Amino acid sequence: MKTSEVNMAACIERLKIDTGSDFAALGLIDTAKRKLRWSMATGSISERTLLVEQKLALGLSGSAIRSGRLASTREAMTDAERFKLGEPILLAEQLQVAASLPLIMPKGIFGVLLIGRRSTRTYNTNELEQASLLTNELVSLLLER
């Protein structure tokens, strides 16, 4: 693994820990396929997580990409609600609560960071602000590579 990849993996792990999340993943936009591909994850319980591709407009990640802002669940979701939302990672990882933060580069949105919990405890404002700060740090690391 390259130094930049090690630093990005460490940043994602820190994001998971600092926000009290069970799961954190980096999703990058594949412009050729117009899909979101998950390239790094920590706290994963599914072997298939990094194989998942999803349409750019779907789920919390799609909302974050379209709006350029944080998208999060306000409360814990049932399996049916997670399925309807269209974010396959939430189902694969059994996440009850999640937030997706866009990675904004000078040329536009490059991807998202998705954090989630398998419990029903929602994210508070301080945790989401911490996630936003670490997202900016990750963007800096992505610009360096």
pLDDT by residue for the chain (145 residues), tens only, comes to 677 788 889 999 999 999 999 999 999 999 888 999 999 999 999 888 999 899 988 899 999 999 999 999 988 888 888 888 888 899 899 999 999 999 998 889 999 999 999 999 999 999 999 999 999 988 888 887 7
Q: Is the alpha carbon torsion for 106, 86, 129, 10 positive or negative? A: negative
pTM recorded for the entire structure: 0.92
Distances (CA, A) of 104 to 49, 88, 140: 23, 23, 10
- What domains can be seen in the chain, in order of their start residue? 3-144 (3.30.450.40)
Within 8 A by CB and 6+ apart from 84, the residues are: none
